[in-house]
Structure 1
Amino acid sequence: MKIALIQHKFQGSKEAMLKHSTKTIKEAVEQGAELVCLSELHQSEYFCQSEDVSKFDLAEEYEKDLAFWSKIARENEVVLLTSLFEKRSAGLYHNTAVVFEKDGSIAGKYRKMHIPDDPQFYEKFYFTPGDLGFEPINTSVGRLGVLICWDQWFPEAARIMALKGADLLIYPTAIGSFDEDSEQEKQKQLEAWLGVQRGHAIANGLPVVAVNRVGFEKDQSNKANGIRFWGNSFVYGPQGEELFRADDKELCKVLEFDFKQSENVRRWWPFLRDRRIEFFGDLQKRFID
C-alpha cells in the first residue's frame, strides 16, 4: 500500500490552505498514493495557543468542509485522512479526524480522546473529549487505527486499536517547541515524541505514521510568543525500524509498505499472545495508592 504524508505550514488563510492541500494531494496521487494523510487541524492556524471564544467560528463551516473534502477524495480517487474542527451543537465542539473513501463517502471518523491543557496548547478550552472510543476505520486500503496528537503519549490507545485489528496507527499532529527553551530541552522533547511512538510500533507489531506541521506560528494574543512546529513526520515499521523521517520543511512524501510484515513480526514476537490480561484490571484506575 502506498501512503502519502503531507507536511505543511500555515499559509495565512483557510482559502490558501485549501488551495495548497488540494494541489499537494494531486501531486501525491500522481506518485501513486492510495492513502493521503494530512496533519492536525490542517485548514487553519493552530488556534489553541490562546483562549479566544471567537475561534469557535472556525467550526461553523464543518458541514461545508465535509462536502469539500469528500469532493477532493472522489475527484482524486484516493482514501483521504482529514483533521477538522467539528461543531456538534452550540457549545459542543470536537477535534475530529474524518476519513473519506475513494468514492467520497465517509468511511469513518475519530474524535480526539485525550485533550491537553498546557501553555499555548489550550485545547481543553475548545474541544470536548471524544466519545466514539478507539475504533479502527475500515477502508479499501486497510483498517486504519486513527488517533490524534496528544493521544500519541498513551500506549493504551495504541494497544486497543491493535487489539481491534488495526493494520496501522496514524497520528495527525501539531506539536513543536518554544524558541525560548534551551536547545537541549527542545531535543529532549523531540526525542521523547519520537520514542514513545516508536514504542507503539514495537509493542503492537504495527507500522506507525505521524504527520506533523512545520513553521513558526505566533500566539495571536501575545505576538512575542509562538510555537515552532517540528515537522519530523515519520513512518516506523512493525519492529520500530525507521522507514522515513522528515526534516522541518514542507513536503509530500509517498512511501510503500506491506502489511504482511506485521504478521511475520507478530509470529517472531507474539506479545499479544503473552499478555497477562487477567492481571490488567488496575489499568482502569486513575492511580494505585
Structure 2
Amino acid sequence: QRISPEDQALAESLDGPSITRICEAASRYKLHIIAPFYEKAMSGELYNAAALIDDSGNILGNYRKHHLPMSSHFNEKFYFRPGNIGFPVFETVLGKIGIMICYDRHFPEAARMLGLAGAEYVFVPTATTKRGFSRSVWEIELRAHAIANGYYVAGVNRVGTELESEYYGASLFVDPIGEIIAQADDKETVLVVDLPRERIDEVRRVWPFFRDRRPDAYDAIIAP
C-alpha cells in the first residue's frame, strides 16, 4: 500500500454509490453479499469496513475492522481508524453471521467475541500477500478459530498482483471441527458449498467449549 492523501477521497458512506450498486445486485440475483468497502462515517472518520446485504438488497449491518497493521507494505493506520462498533453478529434467514477483516484473524479474541455473540458462520474477507509467514498459517488460524468456537469459517483472499504485491488466494470453507471442506487455488474461483446448521449443534454437544470456559481466570487477556 502506498501512502497517498488523495486516496482518502475514495472513501464512501454506507449509503454511497458502491454499496448501493451492490445492494441492487443482491436483490437482482437473490444473494446475500458481504461487501468490504472504504467507509467514510458521518463524523468524517474513515474505516476499513464490510457491509452485510440480504437477498432483498437491504443492508443488515456493518462491521469495522478492529486491528490495523502498519508496516512497509501495509499502511492501514494512515488510512483507517480502528473499529468502534464491536463484533456484531447479524441475524439472517441463513443463520447468524459474523465478520472479521483480514488482520483481525490473527487475534483469537476477535474470533471468540463472535462466538460468544452467537455466530454460526464467520466470514473473513482478506487481502493478504505472499510476503512473510501469512501463507503458512492461513489455513491453521482459520481452522483453529472454527474448532475453538464450533462454527463455520469462510476465508476469502484476493488473487492477482497490485503494484509490487502478489496475492495467493487459497480461499476456503472450514467446518466446525476444523476440516477444510472446499478450497480455491490462486486463480479467481467460485466455491459453492452446503453448510448445514445442524453440524454446529452436533459439534458443540461433543465439544462444549463455551460451557467449560473460565472467564474468571482470564483477567490478563483483557489487561491493557
What's the TM-score, normalizing by structure 2?
0.95
* Aligned amino acid, residue 230 of structure 1: Y
2:190 is matched with: 252
**1:161 and 2:114 are equivalent in the alignment:** yes
For residue 252 of structure 1, give the secondary structure of its aligned residue in structure 2.
coil
1:195 is matched with: 140
Counterpart among 64, 78, 82 of residue 31 in structure 2: 78
**1:148 positional shift:** 0.5
For residue 166 of structure 1, give the secondary structure of its aligned residue in structure 2.
coil
1:50 is matched with: 2
Please give the alpha-carbon distance, in whole angstroms, between the structure 2 residues aligned to 1:119 and 1:194.
Answer: 25
Q: CA RMSD in A?
A: 1.5
Please give the alpha-carbon distance, in whole angstroms, between the structure 2 residues aligned to 1:248 and 1:102.
Answer: 28
Structure 2 gaps of 5+ residues are none
**1:266 positional shift:** 0.9
**Aligned partners of 2:175 and 2:181 also within 8 Å:** yes
2:95 is matched with: 142
Aligned structure 1 segments of 4 or more residues deviating by more than 6 angstroms = none
Larger radius of gyration: 1
**1:65 and 2:3 are equivalent in the alignment:** no
Counterpart among 95, 120, 129 of residue 48 in structure 2: 95
For residue 133 of structure 1, give the secondary structure of its aligned residue in structure 2.
coil
2:104 is matched with: 151
**1:139 positional shift:** 1.5
Please give the alpha-carbon distance, in whole angstroms, between the structure 1 residues aligned to 2:207 and 2:44.
Answer: 47
**1:150 positional shift:** 0.6
**1:265 and 2:218 are equivalent in the alignment:** no
Counterpart among 155, 165, 172 of residue 210 in structure 1: 155
Please give the alpha-carbon distance, in whole angstroms, between the structure 1 residues aligned to 2:141 and 2:31.
Answer: 30
**Aligned partners of 2:23 and 2:59 also within 8 Å:** yes
* Aligned amino acid, residue 192 of structure 2: V
* Aligned amino acid, residue 49 of structure 2: T
**Aligned partners of 1:202 and 1:239 also within 8 Å:** yes
**Aligned partners of 1:153 and 1:197 also within 8 Å:** no
**Aligned partners of 2:146 and 2:176 also within 8 Å:** yes
1:34 is matched with: none
Counterpart among 156, 161, 177 of residue 239 in structure 1: 177
Please give the alpha-carbon distance, in whole angstroms, between the structure 2 residues aligned to 1:61 and 1:161.
Answer: 25
Residues 182-231 of structure 1, C-alpha deviations (whole Å, 9 max, x = no match): xxxx6x4312122111100111111111111001111xxxxxxx111010
**1:282 positional shift:** 1.8
Q: What number of residue pairs does the alignment pair up?
A: 223
**1:60 positional shift:** 4.4
Counterpart among 74, 82, 97 of residue 129 in structure 1: 82
For residue 162 of structure 1, give the secondary structure of its aligned residue in structure 2.
helix
* Aligned amino acid, residue 83 of structure 1: P
1:177 is matched with: 130
* Aligned amino acid, residue 279 of structure 1: A
Percent same amino acid at aligned positions?
37
Q: Which residues of 2 match residues 99-110 of structure 1 at below 5 A?
A: 99-110=52-63
Please give the alpha-carbon distance, in whole angstroms, between the structure 2 residues aligned to 1:138 and 1:128.
Answer: 26
Residues 223-276 of structure 1, C-alpha deviations (whole Å, 9 max, x = no match): xxx111010001111000110121101111111120111111111111111111
Structure 1 gaps of 5+ residues are 1-48, 179-185, 219-225
1:229 is matched with: 167
For residue 143 of structure 2, give the secondary structure of its aligned residue in structure 1.
helix
Residues 60-110 of structure 1, C-alpha deviations (whole Å, 9 max, x = no match): 476112211111111112111100111115752111100111111111110
Counterpart among 208, 213, 216 of residue 275 in structure 1: 213
What's the TM-score, normalizing by structure 1?
0.74
* Aligned amino acid, residue 55 of structure 1: D
